[in-house]
Structures are given as structure tokens and as C-alpha cells.
Amino acid sequence: MSLQIGEAHIFDRGYRRYTGERRGTRGAVRTLIWHSMQRALGMRRSIWAKVLPFLIIVISYVPAIVFIGILALYPKARELQFEGGLQLPTYGEYFGYIASAVALFVAFVGPELLCTDRRTGMLGLYLASPLTRRSYLLAKAVATAIVLAFVTIGPPFFMLIASIMQGVGPDGPGGVASTGGRIIAAGATVSLMFTSISIGIASCTDRKSFATAATLLLFLVTGVLAAVLVESGLDDNFYLLAVLRVPFDLVMRIHGERGDAVDVSTVGIAVTVAAWTVGGFIVALTRYRKLTVAR
């Protein structure tokens, strides 16, 4: 049936039941994770939205590519370490080269995924689906952690594979498995902690610029404060205040190496990382539990 009124047309199409697969909450979470990862990486958005994540990921891989190139051109490059020559970084030291990339990614990914939904009203639509506040945050956290893993796990693993191909990697299957496991454990630890911090801060405001600035300010202030206190002769445990450096020192311990905080116990570093990880998620859950959302 069609009714014409002036230039307008009203069509009566009737009602049809949805006959597709009903995937429930798990399906909604999986879909939101995939959509959030696409948004974080700038997919299906303008070219300008793709520039920053693309550049950050490329920057994180550049040191690995350079070191791999050195190994390809100079197969005995690692032997030179014992002769005072060329110094190649260990897997633990590699994170020192990508710390800035990780910090930038953390500062922009969480706010992009959480703040945008609240400002545009999409949060209400999500919560009108099978998603609850907890499952929504879970999906956002998983998406953030996976995207961060591109920077925290990808480059060291790429370096491991290239080293094996060049014949300078770990000895035997056991050595390869052990090193690979350490890379995954270290990268996952860094990714989880920074995911928690990013989501925790982003849950406190619906403005991306505020959340990004607060995240970068947290890294800067705690780093400077820790350096000043330690350099002034106070207890070395004040090093644990440096939010951006502590997880990377734990990475060194995971790889059996020693970082800058030589006199700080591994247990103290691990507890600090765990506290930041748990604390960020608690802040996010508390904020979203009290948040008023119009559905």
C-alpha cells in the first residue's frame, strides 16, 4: 500500500520477524570488541584518523627492523658485544626504544573508545542491547589490550623470528619456546596495565582531549617526581612512583635482566604493576556503575 501526500510518499511495508542467528551477550561482546579495534586503528574512518595509530605502530617496529638489518648485514654483530663493539639490545631492553610509542598509544586509544560513546550517545544504544555495563567495559578493555599488544608483543616477537632466521636466535626448541613465552608474558603485562590506566582515566570524562592530557600528565609528573626523590638520596623504592617506567622494569625481570631499579625488589615492582592494573579497572567499573545513561 502506498499513500501519496504532495511530494511525500508513505509506504506500508508491514512487519517481519528477525530470522537471523541470535548470538546473545557473547556475540554482542565479540562484535563490540571487533568494532572497537577498528575504531582504535582508524578503520572505516577518515584518513586523518588512521595516521596516528599507523605512525605509532610503525615507530614501534622501526628499531626491530633496524636491528634485524644489522644482523643480516653483520651476522657476527652479537659477538661484537663482548669486544666493546656494536651493542644490540636484549628483548627486555627493546622496550626502552618503544616506551614513547606505548605512552602515545595508551593516551589516545582508551579515550577514543570510551569518551566518544558517551559524547555521541552510543553508550545508551549499546546498553539497550544484551550488553551490560560490565560486559561493555570488558569488550572495550579487551579491544584496547589487543591493540596495545600490536606494540608491546609484535615488535619483540618479530625480532625473535628474524633472529632465528639469521641463526642468532635462542638455541633449540626449548630456548625458542622459553624466549617466546617471556615475550608474550612481558608484552601482555605491559598491555594489561596500560589498558587499565587508559580506561580508568577515560571513564572519568567524556572529553577525549581531557583524558589524553591527564594520561600524559600522569606519566610525566610521576616520572619526574620519582627521579627527583631517588636522586635526592631518598629510598630507591620511590622509583615505584614512575608509572611509565615500572612496567618496563618488570619486563626486564621477566627476561632475567636488571633494569634501572637495581635495588628495588622484583616483588615490589610486580605488586605495583598489579595495583595499577586492578586499580584502573576498579575506577572504571565504579564510574560506570554510577553513570546515568538514557536508553
In the predicted structure, residue 85 carries a pLDDT above the cut 50:
no
The residue segments making up the domain with residue 152 are 27-290
Given a cut of 80, is residue 54 above it in pLDDT? yes
pLDDT band for 233, please (50, 70, 90 cuts): confident
Q: What is the pLDDT of residues 118-173, one digit of tens each?
A: 888 888 888 887 888 899 999 999 999 999 998 899 888 888 887 777 666 677 78
With a cut of 90, say whether residue 45 has pLDDT above it.
Answer: no
Query: How many CB atoms are located within 10 Å of the residue 284 CB?
Result: 24
Report yes or no on 158 lying in a domain. Answer: yes
Does 1 fall in a domain?
no
Residue 238's closest CA among 248, 249, 229?
Answer: 229
Could you give the number of structural domains in the chain?
Answer: 1
> Is this model's pTM higher than 0.95 or not?
no
Q: Phi and psi at residue 9, in whole multiples of 5°? A: -125, 130
Query: Does residue 18 form part of some domain?
Result: no
Q: What is the pLDDT of residue 2?
A: 47
Distance CA 133, CA 136 (A): 5
Is 9 inside a domain boundary? no
Query: Is it the case that residue 191 has pLDDT exceeding 70?
Result: yes
Q: Does residue 37 fall inside a structural domain?
A: yes
Residues in the chain: 295
Q: Is residue 44 part of a domain?
A: yes
Mean pLDDT of 264-275: 90
pLDDT value of residue 41: 84
Give domain status of residue 66, yes or no.
yes
Number of Cβ within 10 Å of residue 271's Cβ equals 12
In a domain, 111, yes or no: yes
How would residue 17 be classed by pLDDT, with cut points 50, 70 and 90? low
**Average of per-residue pLDDT values in the chain:** 82
Give the DSSP letter string of 130-160: T--HHHHHHHHHHHHHHHHHHHHTHHHHHHH
